Amino acid sequence: MKRIILAILVALIGITANAQQKKNKNANYSMEVNGNCDQCKKRIEKAALSVSGVKSANWDVESHQLKLILNEEKASVGQVEKAIAKVGHDAGQTKAETVDYENLHSCCKYGRNP
């Protein structure tokens, strides 16, 4: 009887320990996003933050690097790239459509590779 109770107790402790090991929901990412100015910065960060699950977005004008904190259970990097491309900026592996790029203000048009 004692062995059965002990086995059940050990099993319950093991289940409880596994349940408490949560996957780190928030992950840090960095990607290159093309742009030129503070207007671009506002547009890029706003587009990134529009994706549900993005906790933080900070684009650096000089390095063209976007740093993200992202809840991987709610969103993916690909979704963020698509949202940024939709506002006219090439982001990571995703290129903006020509129509979206052409809608950018003249000072925001960066050199694009064909």
Domain boundaries defined on the chain: 26-104
> How far is CA 66 from its chain centroid?
9
8 Å CB contact between 72 and 25? yes
For residue 17, pLDDT over 60 is answered with no
CATH 3.30.70.100 fits domain 26-104 = yes
> Would you state the pLDDT for residue 78?
95
What are the phi and psi torsion angles at 41 (to 5°)?
-55, -50
Q: Determine what percent of the chain is predicted with pLDDT higher than 70.
A: 82
SS (H, E, C) 45-101: HHHHHCCCCEEEEEECCCCCEEEEEEECCCCCHHHHHHHHHHCCCCECCECCCHHHH
38-51 pLDDT, tens digit each: 999 999 999 999 99
* Residues 66-93, mean pLDDT to the nearest whole number: 94
Q: What is the pLDDT of residues 27-36, one digit of tens each?
A: 899 999 999 9
Q: How confident is the model at residue 20 (pLDDT cuts 50, 70, 90)?
A: very low
Higher pLDDT, 2 or 21: 2
Residue range 91-113: mean pLDDT, rounded: 91
The answer to whether 68 touches 30, Cβ cutoff 8 Å, is: yes
pLDDT score of 18: 53
